[in-house]
Structure 1
Amino acid sequence: MTSPEPRRGRRDPESRSVPRHLDVDRESVERGLAGLVLTVVELLRQLMERQALRRIDQGGLTDDQVEDLGLTLMALEERVTELREHFGLTPEDLNIDLGPLGPLLPRD
């Protein structure tokens, strides 16, 4: 009796170049996830800041609203910095390189 032929497109599990299990360090996973989340938060913070400046320039906000907005954005920036430092990340760690498009976060 002959053995059945392997299906096309399927590899023999023994011939894989990818390890069967992945050694994952909990700290590096947490750091990577924190970096990703903080990158998104920082991008949104910068976009909100630019939008706020546009609205201020157009005169669409009262003095109290400008004050509240400024305090809120400063508190958010401070918290992002605290979290970034807690996880041992630098500002450059949050600026993902998009290849030909350049860095994700605009430089201030």
Structure 2
Amino acid sequence: MATDPTPTHGGRPDLPGRANRLGPSGEVPRRIEVDKESARQSLAGLVLTIVELLRQLMERQALRRIDQGGLSDEQIEKLGLTLMALEENMTELREHFGLTEEDLNLDLGPLGPLLPRD
């Protein structure tokens, strides 16, 4: 008679990593309690961090193109207005979600901050 080598608890097979999810009574919790506002704030911060990183990269690339002389005066004006509008929109979004510039600047440990401090 062959026996099933899979360990069980209460007649149920163990799943890999299951012990990490067990509640105090040894049962798998049915729900994870998450503060809705905290999750919203964290997600907004992450999204705005990525957008801010891209905005700064675009700004640096635009300055390089201007320094190389590859743009007309009209293109430079348009680019400047667009970048200013993006910066204003970022400020409004940060204020809407109650975030500061520093909130978006992730600390990468030994690498330093994600966003350069001007």
Give the shorter-chain TM-score range.
0.7 to 0.9
Tell me which of the two structures has the higher relative contact order, counting C-alpha pairs closer than 8 angstroms and 6 or more residues apart. 1
Measure the CA separation in 2 of the matches of 1:27 and 1:79.
22
Q: Rg larger in 1 or in 2?
A: 2
Change (3 A) 1:31 1:57: same
Measure the CA separation in 2 of the matches of 1:49 and 1:25.
36
Q: In the alignment, does 2:16 pair up with 1:6?
A: no
Measure the CA separation in 2 of the matches of 1:15 and 1:22.
14
The one-letter code matched in structure 1 to 2:93 is L
Change (3 A) 1:47 1:16: farther
* Percent of paired sites with the same residue: 71
Equivalenced residue count is 104
Q: Which runs of 5+ in 1 are unaligned?
A: none
Measure the CA separation in 2 of the matches of 1:101 and 1:95.
12
**1:52 maps to what in 2?**
62
Of residues 38, 56, 76, the one that matches 1:28 is: 38
Q: TM (normalized to structure 1)?
A: 0.83
Q: Which runs of 5+ in 2 are unaligned?
A: 9-13
Q: TM (normalized to structure 2)?
A: 0.76
SS in 1 for 2:33: coil
Measure the CA separation in 1 of the matches of 2:37 and 2:23.
31
Q: Report which of the two has the higher share of helix.
A: 1
Q: How does 1:32-43 map to 2 (within 5 A)?
A: 32-43=42-53
- 1:37-88 CA-partner distances (Å, limit 9, x unpaired): 1101110111111111111111000001001100000100100110001100
